[in-house]
């Protein structure tokens, strides 16, 4: 893939570890993001996603290991590395008292984008995220989704070639989420940028080029969604037994296939041959049965032994408790 004179990859992370007191937030994380890739970091809350992004964007130092942005060491050459990056932080970081345009202008100033160019970029970016009509409004009056769009626009004012987005859609309604993703996809097509995005919404990473699944500070798997499903997904049978005796019988008989239990249902690792064998054996013991095709959900379950959805529920609770993303939409 890489040719003799190919530039350094947009992002390279090599054995990064980082501790907060007794918490090992990152435990030897390594991966490389390819040119113009749409790369997702998927993991439950506390997985270490934000810690890693903070290291990449030079606001936090790793305890050990190295992170490179186009070959620039984020610890030794933070300013040069930072110039290549557009960042959307997990926590809202706009100045609510400024207008939409002023927020963008300020960012351009900080990054030394000259006046005329700055004005042009601001107009371009406002158009991209469909906020032109809102340019002179005070940022405080924007909805949560609009603020998120403004943050994406801001990340691109200094012509960054690598976009880091930390949970860009967390806490937004489905329509706003879809809109954000469509901007990101369009950007990637039009401006040839590399995108690294973190999320804990599994359905959102289906369209990414590659997904890196992280849990407890470690990389569990990294590949294209389809490959992950083929390798780790496996087919599953979701069975609801008729009664308690039936449940016990099935659990006893198929303990080695047990993937988990979800409410009334039992989840068993399966394949086409097994479905028939199971029905012949236990058909009369079940109330219902669904064959679940491999999904990133089952990949996550296989790799971690837990469902990501349960974690996400906890996450929204925490978001609410700490009011991390502007309180008004987390009710």
Ligand X SMILES: Nc1ncnc2c1ncn2[C@@H]1O[C@H](COP(=O)(O)OP(=O)(O)OP(=O)(O)O)[C@@H](O)[C@H]1O
Partners of residue 185 on adjacent β-strands: none
| CB-nearer residue toward ligand X: 25 or 155 | 25
| Residue 176 contacts Mg ion per CB under 5 A | no
| CB-nearer residue toward Mg ion: 49 or 177 | 49
At 226 the three-state DSSP class reads helix
- 111 is written with which tokens? 């990054």
| Residue 50 contacts Mg ion per CB under 5 A | yes
Give the C-alpha distances (Å, rounded to integers) separating 238 from 100, 291, 292.
49, 6, 7
Fill in the per-residue mask, 9 to 38: x = in contact with ligand X (CB under 6 A), - = not in contact: -----------x--x-x-------------
- Of 182, 192, 217, nearest to 10 by C-alpha is 192
Beta carbon of residue 168, minimum distance to ligand X (angstroms, whole number): 12
**Location of structure tokens 């009710």:** 331
Residue pair 184/152 in contact by the 8 Å Cβ criterion: yes
| CB-nearer residue toward Mg ion: 11 or 197 | 197
72-101 binders of ligand X (CB under 6 A)? 90
Beta carbon of residue 20, minimum distance to ligand X (angstroms, whole number): 3
Identify the residue among 89, 205, 315, 326 touching ligand X (CB under 6 A): 315
| Residue 65 contacts ligand X per CB under 6 A | no
**Sheet of 72-73, strand order:** 23-33, 11-20, 64-69, 72-73
Beta carbon of residue 36, minimum distance to ligand X (angstroms, whole number): 25
* DSSP state at residue 138: B
Please report which helix (H) or strand (E) contains residue 150, including its range. helix 144-155
Q: Which does 236 bind (CB under 5 to 8 A by kind): Mg ion, ligand X, none?
A: none
At 209 the three-state DSSP class reads coil
> By CB under 5 A, how many residues form the interface with Mg ion?
3
Residue nearest to Mg ion (CB): 50
d(Cα 323, Cα 245) in Å, to the nearest integer?
46
Identify the residue among 29, 49, 121, 172 touching ligand X (CB under 6 A): 49
Q: Which residues bind Mg ion (CB under 5 A)?
A: 49-50, 90
The binding site for ligand X (CB under 6 A) comprises 20, 23, 25, 43, 45-51, 90, 200, 315
């Amino acid at each position: 893939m890489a040719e003799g004179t190919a530039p350094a990859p947009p992002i390279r992370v090599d054995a990064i570890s980082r501790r907060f007191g007794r918490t090992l937030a990152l435990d030897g994380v390594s991966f490389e993001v390819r040119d113009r890739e749409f790369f997702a970091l998927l993991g439950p809350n506390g997985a270490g996603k934000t810690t890693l992004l903070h290291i990449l964007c030079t606001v936090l130092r790793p305890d050990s290991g190295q992170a490179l942005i186009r070959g620039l060491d984020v610890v030794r050459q933070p300013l040069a590395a930072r110039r290549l990056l557009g960042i959307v932080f997990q926590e809202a970081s706009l100045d609510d008292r400024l207008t939409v345009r002023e927020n963008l202008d300020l960012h351009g100033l900080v990054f030394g984008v000259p006046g005329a160019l700055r004005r042009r970029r601001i107009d371009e970016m406002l158009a991209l995220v469909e906020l032109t009509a809102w340019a002179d409004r005070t940022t405080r009056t924007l909805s949560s989704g609009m603020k998120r769009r403004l943050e994406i626009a801001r990340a691109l004012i200094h012509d960054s070639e690598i976009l880091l987005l930390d949970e860009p859609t967390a806490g937004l309604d489905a329509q706003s989420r879809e809109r954000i993703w469509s901007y990101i996809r369009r950007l990637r097509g039009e401006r040839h940028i590399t995108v690294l995005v973190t999320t804990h919404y599994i359905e959102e990473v289906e369209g990414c080029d590659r997904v890196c699944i992280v849990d407890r500070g470690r990389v569990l798997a990294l590949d294209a969604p389809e490959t992950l499903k083929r390798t780790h997904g496996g087919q599953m049978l979701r069975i609801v037994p008729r009664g308690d005796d039936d449940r016990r019988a099935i659990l006893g008989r198929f303990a080695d296939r047990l993937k988990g239990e979800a409410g009334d249902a039992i989840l068993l690792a399966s394949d086409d041959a097994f479905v028939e064998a199971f029905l012949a054996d236990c058909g009369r013991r079940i109330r219902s049965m669904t064959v679940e095709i491999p999904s990133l959900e089952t990949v996550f379950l296989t790799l971690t032994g837990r469902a990501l959805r349960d974690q996400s529920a906890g996450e929204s609770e925490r978001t609410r408790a700490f009011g991390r993303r502007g309180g008004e939409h987390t009710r």
